A and B are shown apart, each in its own frame.
Chain A
Amino acid sequence: MPGPVEDAGQPTAERIFCLLRRGELTIEDTWHVAGMRGTGTKDVRADELFVPAHRTVSFKAFNSTSPPGAALHRAPLYRFARGPASLGGNILWPMLGAAEGALADYVAATRVRVGALFGDKPAEQSPVQLRLSESAAEIKAARLLLEAENRIVAGRIRDGSAFTDDENVELPRDRAFAAKLCVQAVERLVLQMGATTIYDPSPVRRHFRDLNAMATQIGVNWDLTMPPYARRALGLPVAAALGGH
C-alpha cells in the first residue's frame, strides 16, 4: 500500500510503500462498479498496524536506479531509470486487447444480426460498414503506437539509459491518444448495436464498460498528458508532470 508519511501527527513530504500480509488487513467489498468488475479491486483497511521498517520502501528509493531489490536481482527491469515515459504503459495493453476483442465480437454478432422489427441486415448497410472500418483502423493505429512505444521502453530498460525529455512527453501523449482511440472505436460500435444488446451478457458492451473503467486511469488522462508535450514543442517550461518529475 502506498501513502504519505506523518511525523508526530504532522504530514511530511515522504511517501512510502508498505508490504502487508493479507491477514493483517480487513477486506471491504466496495467493488460495485461500472466496469472491470472481475478484477475484484476492493478496499483494504488497516487498523493501527505496526509495520517493521524492512517491509517499507520510500517512493524515492523505489523509483531510483538502485532500489533495494536491485541488490538481489540482476535483471535490468529492477533497476532501469523510470520516468513519465515508462509509467502507465501497462494498462494500455489490456485496453488494446479489450478493443480488439470488442471488434471481433462485434463483427461476429453483426455478421448474423437481423433487425428485430423489419428483418433487415445491418451488415449490408454502408453506414454500418463504415463504422466498422473506422473503428478497425483506429484500433490498428492504437496498436502501432503502443508497439512503437514498447520498442523504446524495452530499449531503455535493456541498456539502462534514461528516457530523453522528448520521450517523457511524447510517450505519455501517445498512450493517452491510443486510449482515446480504443474507447472511441468501441463506443462507435456499441452505439450501432441496438437495444437487444443492453443485457448483461453482451461481450461488446462489457468490453466497452471495461474500457471506460480503464480509461479513467490518470496515466491516460487526456487533459493532463497533452499539455506537457505541446509546451515542450512550443518552447515553454514543462510543468511537473506525473511520476514525481
Chain B
Amino acid sequence: MAAVEGPASERIELGIREYDVTARKRPVDKSVTRLLEKPEDTSTTDHSELDELQGPFHSGPEVTKACLECHNKAGKQFRKNIHWTWRWHNPRTGQELGKALLVNNFCTNAAGNEGMCAQCHAGYGMTDARTYDFSNEENIDCLVCHESTGTYYKLPPTRGNKACAVMFEGKPPIDWTRVAQSVTLPGRNNCGACHFFGGGGDNVKHGDLSSVLFNPPKDVDVHMSPQGENFACIICHVGEGHKWAGSRYAPLAKDPGETKPGLPRHTATCESCHTHEPHPLGLMGLKLNDHTDRVACPTCHVPAFARGGVATKVHWDWRTAGRLRNGEGYREEGYIQGNGEPRHTYKSIKGSFKYGENLVPEYHWFNGVERYITVHDRFDPSKPVEINHLEGGPDDPNARIWPFKRMVTIQPYDKGNNTLVYMHLWGDDEDAFWGNYDFARAIRRGMADFGLPYSGEYGFIETWSYWPIVHMVAPKEDALACRDCHARQGRLKDLAGFYMPGRDYNPWVDRIGIAVVLATLLGVLGHGLLRVVLAARRR
C-alpha cells in the first residue's frame, strides 16, 4: 500500500480497500441474551462437545450441514428471513423492497453488485441474487450470526477488479471447526459485524449504529452498555424461529397494544418494555406521559446521534468520483473523528463525503409507512428526491414525531427517464465503475443487466434518505428538556400543522393583546397626567 503525500492534514492512499475493518477480529461481548442473562451458564447444550461438531470443517456449507442435522427446521425458518431473501413485500404500500432491488443513496445499488455487497448476505456465495439458489439451505451462513469467537469474517463473494485485490490480502484463515463449536445466541458482535458498518464503513449509514455499540459507555447507550443493561440486540429485537421484531422497512411507529401483564410481546418498541406511561407517577410524570401518544420515545431520549467518537456520513457527492493519481484510484483522509481515527473524505470509487458527530436529528411526523422511490419510479428532477418518503402528519392519529438522520447525496440518475439508476460497480470487466471509473458504461451496463429502460444520458440529482434514530438511548439526565422543543426556535420549529405550547402563538391575538395592555397603560397615564395638570391649574 503506497502512501503519497497530499495537501496538509490529508493522507492519500492508492488502491481500493473497502470493509477492511469487518474482517478484523471483533471484541466479543458477553451481552445479555436469554441464555446469558444469568452469571452461571444456563444453556443445556455445550456445542463444543457435540460429536457432530468435531469436524474437521473446511468450509461454511460443511458447518451449516452439520447444524441442520440437529436443527432440522432452522433452514426452512431462515429461508423466509429477509437476511436471506434480501426481498420484502410491503403489504401496506404494495412495494417490492429489499437489498436485492432498492436503490439507496450510499453505494446506490446492491443489485448487480452482489459480488461485493453480498459480503453481508447471511449466506455463502451469492454472486447474483437473480440466479442464486435460495432453496439450498446448506448455503445459509449460520456462523455469521451465531459464532462467538469474534474471529469469523466474510469476504466479498467475488474478487472484483484487480485494483480491489488489496481487500483480500493478509486475512488470517478461518478455523472452521473452532468457530462452529462456539455457536450460541447472537451477541452484539454478531449483529454489529454487518449492521454497524452498513453503507460502506463504520456508522456510515444509520448514524445510531456504530462500532461504539460493541462495548458502549453508558452515556452512549444505556441498554447496550456493559455498565448499563448490557443488552444484546436480540433482547429488544425479540423473536423465535428465526423471525424477529423490528423492521426498517415497516417500523411500528405507534405501539398500540398492551397485553396482559407478564405476557411476552414480539415487538421491538420501547413501549413493549416501558409501556406508554413510562414516566414515574407525579405531576411531571403525568405531563410527560401525555406526550407519548404524539411523540416517540427516542425523540427526547436520543438527544443526538453518532455519539461516542465514531462519525456518520451525512453528505455524499458522487460527481467527484473517478479522479485518478498516476492512473490509479486513491483515497484521502480529511476528517479525524472523536476517537482519533481518520475517515476518508474522498474516494475515487465513490466521490466526496462529509461526516458529522453528536448530530441533532431532524424530526418528522411518521406513521410507520415509508414510500420508496425504486428504480422503476419516475420523479420530478427539479427538487430533491426523497428515496423513502415518510408518511404521516399531525392529523394522523397513528403518526408520532420521530427523530431521523437525513442523508443527502448527489448521485447519478437517468436524465431522460427521470429515474434512479443501477450502476455496475463491482466486477472484473470493462464496465465496472470500481476499476474503470466511467459512469456512462457503469450505468448502461447496470440498467441493461436488469432489462431496465435507460435513455442513455445520465445526470446527477440530489437525493434524501431518512434513517430513524432509535438506538443510542442516553441516560435520563441527558434526555431533552421541555425548552428544547417548547420554544419559538426549538428543535421542532419546522414541524407545521399543529399547535405546540411555547412555540406557537396567534400573531393577531398577541398584537391585539399587547395593544389592549398598551392602550390601557397609556389611558391611565393620560388620565393621571390630566388630573395632575388640571389640579395644579386649579390651585
A, B assembled together: no
